[in-house]
Amino acid sequence: MGTGKRGLIATAVTVIGAVAVLAAPGTAFAAPSPTPSPTASPTAVTNKDIEAVRKQLDALYHDAAVATDAYNAAEEKAEQQSAQIVALARKIVKGQERLAELKARAGAAAAAQYRTYGLSDEARLMLSDDPQEFLDSTGRVLQGQRATKALIAELARTQQDLKQYADDASAQWTKLEANRKAKATARKKVEQQIAAAEKLESRLEAKEKERLAELQEQAARQAQTAWLDSGVLKDISGKASEAGKTAVAYATNQIGKPYEWGAEGPDSYDCSGLTSQAWASAGKPIPRTSQEQWKQLKHVDVEDMRPGDLIIYFDDASHVAMYLGDGAIVHAPRPGRTVTIAGAGSMPILGVVRPDA
């Protein structure tokens, strides 16, 4: 264990880095290991130390965002599968009722045929007082036979349908259980990442937290400035559609509400919860997660984006924000923050999608 405040910060970063590796298999973060110089005070905490904390926090919250997307996706699939199971159950009930009805009709037809037409055609012709009546009744018998064949065929189809419904319901139930487990795993991962980040931040004193906030703002400003300096904004002149205006109004009305992973409002949101609800308010339902929004919605060039479009961030599409125009976005950043306006270039842009293309 290190001595003094600087040693404590270094130890905290190392410990939290280990927690992150355990919580996210396959993902490793380089844990900073600042070593006090011989002339440095053992209690001094430098900007380099705080910058190491900032990078570690960014990594933890990024992984929490990835896990949140996995949780939201599993929850959405579980809801869809539950609805499909309910629909299949209704089909099974109706199929069983139809099967009972067909069996009753088949039984009645068999009994009538036995009572009325047990004799051979030759015997019935000889015993008949009216040959024409016999011929008419024979025609009705043929019609009845055809109807009986159709009845038996429908009976067989209904039985096959019932078996298929039961098989489908069983398959959906298996998927539902798998997605429930995936949801629980993702939830645990989110909680671990957020707890690790909060633990790391809790080790900082008030002045160090202020310096951390300054460094975070500085990093965002630098990224935004670099994006603007690229000249991209001069080519962006798109006007919002009517649905886009409605979505923007909804999203900006949520400013100040807290981030909460898995939340879709009305009191709190995660990043894709905000964007999906904003577009739902405009009558345009879109996928729940940022990754599915990236996969399913129409891609547009950054130079062609307009207010209401969604900007997807990071290579793994783990964050999403809504473009407002003039180089600004509204988004739900991460745990401990609120829905806010930020620079569109303050994070690495993967691409832009348009919900109402």
Please enumerate in sequence order all residues whose Cβ is within 8 A of that of 268, keeping only pairs 6 or more positions apart, or say none. Answer: 257, 258, 259, 260
Q: What is the pLDDT of residue 321?
A: 96
Quick check: is 62 catalytic?
no
Q: What is the pLDDT of residues 250-279, one digit of tens each?
A: 999 999 999 998 899 999 999 999 999 999
pLDDT the model gives residue 113: 58
**Catalytic site residue from 54, 62, 77, 319:** 319
> How distant, in Å, are the alpha carbons of 217, 247, 293, 354 from that of 298?
32, 17, 9, 5
Residue 60 CA: distances (Å) to CA of 29, 67, 303: 9, 11, 31
DSSP letter, residue 344: T
CA distance 219 to 196: 22
Q: Is residue 333 within 8 Å of 342, Cβ to Cβ?
A: yes
Residue 77: what pLDDT? 75
- pLDDT tens per residue, range 86-113: 877 787 787 777 777 777 776 666 666 5
Alpha carbon distance 4, 127 (integer Å): 119
Pair of tokens at residue 144: 């009845």
Dihedral class, residue 317 (left if φ above 0, else alpha if ψ from -120 to 50, else beta): left
Could you tell me the pTM of the whole model?
A: 0.55
Counting DSSP H helices and E strands in the chain, the numbers are 8, 6
Active-site pick, 9, 271, 320, 324: 271
Please indicate whether residue 299 is annotated as part of the active site.
no
Q: Is 331 part of the annotated catalytic residue set?
A: yes
The catalytically annotated residue of 5, 211, 284, 331 is: 331
Per-residue model confidence (pLDDT) at position 193: 73
DSSP 230: T
Tokens 């080519």 correspond to 235
Mark the ranges of the chain whose per-residue pLDDT is less than 70.
Answer: 1-45, 47, 106-149, 151
Residue 323's pLDDT is 96
- Packing angle of the helix pair 47-116, 131-202 (nearest 10 deg): 170
pLDDT digits (tens, 9 = 90+) for 29-77: 233 344 444 443 344 567 677 777 777 777 777 777 777 777 777 777 7
What pLDDT, on a 0 to 100 scale, did the predictor assign at position 242?
A: 95
